[in-house]
Chains A and B, each alone.
Chain A
Amino acid sequence: MNRREVLALLGVTAALPASVLAQTNATRRLGVLSVTAADDAIGQTRSAVLVQALAGHGWKERDNSRSIGQRRRRPRTDRAIRR
């Protein structure tokens, strides 16, 4: 079994690098560590639910936070990583 297969089998780690959250007069950094497969719909749904729920409390991802995530992700291209 090669390493790629092992990773796929284990599924797992997705790190959502620290998102910068902004609320009126406040900017905070949230780090998210999750264990779901890279291409798994569950992980994607969870991210969407979280972002929406935080927005419900007035916390929005700042415009540049997503690009921070993208930049951090690029060096690792294997499937165990997402957002």
Chain B
Amino acid sequence: MGNGGGDRARIAQFADELIALKPDILLAVGTPSVEELRRRTTTIPIVFAVVTDPVSQGFVQNLAHPGGNVTGFTDYDGPLAGKWLEMLTQVTPRPSRVFVVYNPATAPFAPLMLGTIEDAGRALDVTVESAPVHDTASIVALASRKDGGLLVLPDFFTMSNRALLLAAINEARVPAVFWSRTFVDEGGLMSYSTDSAEQLRRAASYIDRILKGARAADLPVQNPTTFELAINLKTAKAIGVTLPPSLLATANEVIE
């Protein structure tokens, strides 16, 4: 088993410990947390946040009526993935090829997003290719991908390793779009993302309702409602690309 296996073993161990404490309710942040907790209880309510595609992963029967002991707030809405690609095509010089970066072990939902991105690629006339990463060497190797833009998927692996990832991408001097503003604050070119703080605030409201007697089965899973766009112009200058005023005008944050 790869690195993701050891990681999962650790999450599993924490899940065991939490369940042993007999909590009244559980909050699971991130897809692996939900997977490990729901495997251990069908009775304790689980509210999730920052989770992608809970239906395909079998967490809930459907968004409107989750049906079991699991409900919560997703970090992904279909159009998001297409928007990432579209942003890359607005960069001058325009990339004709885009590499999609993620770790298959920690982003089991990646095929869903890749499908959307490939559809968008056909419409925008951009070649889309996967560039899976799973360890230091594979991240460092991204520095040699100089013939296209990079699209980094929402994946805790990419977040945890963002310093390494950003160093490789900036060494390649290629445009990149990220799933969280944190990357842009730390030198990434641009991001379009949901607000995870908002998801936690909304999760707290479900925790409150369930503790007061509501059933998780009856509380609909909700998709994100607010999005934010961030652009780092310092990085744009450093790698020699320009961005159209129309994109800059819609940014929530521009780092000069």
Contact = CB atoms under 8 A, between A and B. Distances in A.
Interface of A: 1, 5-6, 9-13, 15, 17-18, 21, 23, 26, 28-37, 40-42, 45-46, 49-50, 53-54, 56-59, 72, 80
B18 interface: yes
Nearest to B29: A34
Contact of B17 (A6, A9, A15, A40): A15
Contact of B23 (A18, A23, A36, A41): A18
B246 interface: no
A59 B205 CA distance: 11
B217 to A, nearest CB: 19
Where chain A touches its partner, the secondary structure class is mixed
Contacts of B196: 42, 46
Given A31-B18, A35-B30, A53 B3 contact: no
Interface residues of B, number: 43
A6 B22 CA distance: 31
Contact of A54 (B14, B29, B156, B208): B208
Contacts of B197: 45-46, 49
Given A28-B25, A46-B200, A50-B27, A33 B18 contact: yes
A10 B182 contact: no
B208 A15 contact: no
A63 to B, nearest CB: 18
Given A31-B18, A35-B156, A36-B160, 5 more contacts: A10-B4, A30-B25, A34-B29, A36-B159, A57-B207
